[in-house]
Amino acid sequence: MKVDKKIGKRTYEFTVQGENLFDAVMESKKLSFYDVHKCGCCGSDDLSLDAHVAQNKFKYVTIKCNNRDCRASLNFGSQTENPDIFYLKLRDKADGTGKEQDWRQPENIQSNTSGVAPQQVAQQQVNNYAAQQPQQPRQ
């Protein structure tokens, strides 16, 4: 069974297999995300799928914006109960009206737009994650 996902102007074709229809459909549901047409930061449709491992253990799948002045990325999360099921990360909208895709730009994008190695960008994302941990209120 073939499953097409549109990421920007590219179409990625996934093939899922199963012993029978049930298994094949269950497999296809692991691709639990919808098409992403535009970058949430700059609106570019020049997007691509990327995957990397951070700190030798954390696996990330991301959608990357290829606009050199933007380079935002959108991480996939996977379910705790079933790490094979991937979905797009969402965050609460600032005005509290619902959820939006969790697009993030590297923090140094304004000052350094020329030559950040992918490795450094990955590290940046990890740092962003660490910074999001809820902080203990100070008494």
Alpha-carbon gap, residue 87 to 78, rounded angstroms = 6
CA 50 to chain centre: 9
Instruction: Indicate the residue among 30 and 74 with the shorter CB distance to Zn ion.
Output: 74
Interface segment toward Zn ion; rule CB under 5 A; list 1-9, 44-52, 89-97, 130-138: 44-52
First-to-last alpha carbon distance for the chain, in angstroms, is 57
- Tell me: does residue 7 bind Zn ion (CB under 5 A): no
Residues 113-135, buried b or exposed e (16+ Cβ, 10 A)?
eeeeeeeebbebbeeeeeeeeee
- Rule CB under 5 A: which of 74-133 touch Zn ion? none
Interface segment toward Zn ion; rule CB under 5 A; list 9-17, 29-37, 40-48, 74-82: 40-48
- Tell me: does residue 70 bind Zn ion (CB under 5 A): yes
- Tell me: does residue 65 bind Zn ion (CB under 5 A): yes
